[in-house]
Structures are given as structure tokens and as C-alpha cells.
Amino acid sequence: MSYRERLARKVNAVRTGLTSRTVVLLNDDVLLYREHLDRNFVQYAPTSDAERTLVQSIADTEWRMQRIAPAEAAIYAMGRREFAELFSEQEDPEVRKALIDAETFATYSRDFRVIANEEQRLYKQRSADIAKLNAVQKQRIMTRQWQDKEAAEERKREIDRALEAAHNTHTNSLPFLDPAAHGFDFSRAEFEICMERIDAIYQLTGEYPGFDEVLAAYRAEQKRPKAA
């Protein structure tokens, strides 16, 4: 088989590697591909099927793009063998090498153009997938922030209702009913202890801590084993 025939086969293989539906080819290192895939998933941290699909596409496109530089180098290597006898009159080896490379590029310009076009296509695909992923993740973050804000406002309204109930029972000399019996997620004892602690912290620092913060700290204390 001539150099040109082998080079044509090589270019076809390159084109297949860039466009094939099969991402990992027979001569690929599967372990390196898995490490490459894991790095992308760590970098982009997808949380939904839609995000995972986009990250997979980004990683696979990048994997294909990594074949481009070796493919071009292989064409030049084959060209140096095919045109090894050319420009023998040149005494400077660097000049002769440059001329042979130029001859290779001119002879196989169509093949280089095919590779360049595939590189551009893959680059555009990767850029589009990254843009889609950024949009999806931005929407997810905004939705989560809105949900957190709604939950925080609802929690504040709940605590305010408990405070109002405590104030009304104290003002009217009524027994303070158990908050848990009225849909709250804390007991009367927890509520009273937390309010006392909040008041004490305010007296010391001039700032009111969050009720849930104080409640969580109190519940953590109750779970600790008692000293013998």
C-alpha cells in the first residue's frame, strides 16, 4: 500500500473519529475517557437529567476534539515520508523540513480543510451545549433562591403567629397553649426556651439571632449524652 493510500485511510479514520456516534474508539484509552468524563461532571456539577445530558455531550465533544491535533500531526508525519526525497538541494535541514511540510499541506489541503471544518463544528457544538447548560443551571439557581425566599418568609410568618399567640395569652392572662397542637413544628417548652435565649443574646450583643438557629442549637444540646 502506498503512502498516499495509507494517508487517505488515516484521514478517513480521523473523519470517522470526529463524527462517529461512538465516542470511545477501539484504540482509545477507556480509563482516560472515564477520568475525562469524571472531571467534567465534577466541574459542572449537574443535578438533573437535563444537566447531566448536556455535561455528557460537552465531555464527549471535547474528547473528539482531542483527536484533531494528533490527526494533523499524523498527516505531516506521513507527508515527510512520502516527500522525503524532495528538496534535496537544500543544505539547511530546518529549511528542508519546512518545505516538505509545506508540500504536505499543499498536497493534502483538502484533508486539512476537512479536519478544520470538523474542528469548527465540534467547537460550535461544545459552545452551544455550554450555553444551554449555563442557562439551565442559572434558571435552577434562581428557582431555588425564590423557593428559599418563599420558605423563609413563610417561616417568619409562622414564628410571628407564635409570638402573637404568646403575647395575647400573656396580656389576657390565658394559658399558653402548646404550639405543636396548632400546627407548629416546635413545642411550648422549646418556644419559651428559645425566646428566652434570643432575648438574652439581644441583651448581650444588640442583635436578634434567628429563631430556627437557636432552636437547632437547643435541639442539638438535648441530643448530646448527659455527663455521668
Are 16 and 96 contained in the same domain?
A: yes
State the chain's mean pLDDT as an integer.
84
Residue finishing a domain among 125, 146, 167: 146
Per-residue 3-state assignment (H helix, E strand, C coil) for 167-221: HHHHHCCCCCCCHHHHCCCCCHHHHHHHHHHHHHHHHHHCCCCCHHHHHHHHHHH
- pLDDT tens-place string over residues 158-205: 888 877 777 777 677 666 667 776 778 888 888 888 888 988 998 999
Are 68 and 142 contained in the same domain?
A: yes
Are 128 and 192 contained in the same domain?
A: no
Computed from CA positions of residues 57, 115, 76, 28, in that sequence, does the dihedral angle turn out positive or negative?
Answer: positive
Are 186 and 99 contained in the same domain?
A: no
Please state the separation of Cα 171 from the chain's center in Å: 55
Give the pLDDT confidence score for residue 5 in this predicted structure: 60
Name 209's Cβ contacts closer than 8 Å, sequence gap at least 6. 197, 198, 201
Are 124 and 25 contained in the same domain?
A: yes
Are 186 and 140 contained in the same domain?
A: no
Exposed (0-12), middle (13-18) or buried (19+): which is 30, by Cβ within 10 Å?
exposed
Is 154 within the bounds of a domain?
no
Is 159 within the bounds of a domain?
no
Are 194 and 129 contained in the same domain?
A: no
Is 106 within the bounds of a domain?
yes
pTM: 0.66
Are 184 and 121 contained in the same domain?
A: no
Are 190 and 136 contained in the same domain?
A: no
Residue 142 has pLDDT above 90, yes or no: yes
C-alpha cell at 49: 437529567
Is 101 within the bounds of a domain?
yes
CA distance 54 to 51: 5
Is 197 within the bounds of a domain?
yes
Which of 45-54, 82-91, 119-128 shows the lowest mean pLDDT across its residues?
A: 82-91
Q: Cα separations (Å) of 120 from 64, 152, 163, 185?
A: 12, 47, 64, 58
Is 163 within the bounds of a domain?
no
Is 161 within the bounds of a domain?
no
- Give the three-state DSSP class for 125: helix
- pLDDT tens-place string over residues 33-58: 899 999 999 999 999 999 999 999 99
Are 10 and 106 contained in the same domain?
A: yes
Are 34 and 95 contained in the same domain?
A: yes
Residue 77 has pLDDT above 70, yes or no: yes
Number of domains in the chain: 2
Residue 96 has pLDDT above 60, yes or no: yes
Are 44 and 94 contained in the same domain?
A: yes
- Its domain, for residue 50, covers 3-146
Strands (E) located in 3-143: none
Q: Which of 72, 31, 39 is nearest to 56 (CA)?
A: 39
Is 155 within the bounds of a domain?
no
